[in-house]
Amino acid sequence: MRVLVIEHESDSGIGLLGERAVATGAELEVVTPMGGIPVSAEGYDAVVTMGASPSVNDADIAPWFDRETALLRDADRRGIPVLGVCFGAQALAVALGGSVSRAVQPEVGWKMVDTEAPGVIAEGPWFQWHVDAITPPPQATVLATSDVSVQAYTVGPHLAVQFHPEVTAQQARDWSTGDPAGLAASGCTLQELVALTTDLEPDARRRAADLWDTFVIGATERGRGIAVL
């Protein structure tokens, strides 16, 4: 399975999801905005688009964000499944006719979600780090929510999650150091958030693996999209 991975920033890699992908035989090809995002998904079996610190509505990212949304629309036309994570979930929404707006409050840290499809999205806890909220595309099925935002949706063969199933303790440390305002919104100190992430990482790794497997099975082997159970 050949997977195109968009990593928008050096500290926003595919993490625990990538561990499972490689363990199950996937070949990951990583691209960045600086290196160039292709506008076609031809030749790939799946596309994964990860988190980023800007908002999808920021004008200064338009030169590369326009290429990304073109890629996501091309993947959709070809029936190539997309997994969107946080910013990536927002990008997929915009590409397919949804929208993104500022949330009523930030969501940062380990949070439970309300799931309508526990066979796809477990209740968590899931790691959050965002200030925007998604309005999914009109044809999407919402899978999970919180008081602040849609937390997961599926549309066609695609799966999008607002939270970060990929997060590791090192990523939690990097984000906390680079975004003090975000850390303050979590209600934790850096040491507390990193310690909690370290404690939860074994279970988070299992849930990330389950999510990856659900995406791959639903989007490729069944060929009809995610089965909402």
Work out whether the CA dihedral 190, 191, 196, 201 comes out positive or negative: positive
Active site residue 188: no
Q: What share of the chain is helix, strand, coil (3-state, %, to 5)?
A: 40, 25, 35
Which 3 state secondary structure label does DSSP give 115?
strand
Active site residue 86: yes
φ, ψ for residue 159, nearest 5 deg = -135, 135
Nearest alpha carbon to residue 214 among 86, 91, 122: 122
Active site residue 166: yes
From the candidates 86, 130, 158, 188, give the one annotated as an active-site residue.
86
From the candidates 9, 68, 107, 166, give the one annotated as an active-site residue.
166
Going through the chain in order, the beta strands assigned E by DSSP cover: 2-6, 27-31, 46-49, 82-85, 99-111, 114-115, 126-135, 141-145, 150-155, 158-161
CA distances from 180 to 52, 60, 70, 172, 190 (A): 16, 22, 33, 12, 9
Catalytically active residues are 86, 164, 166
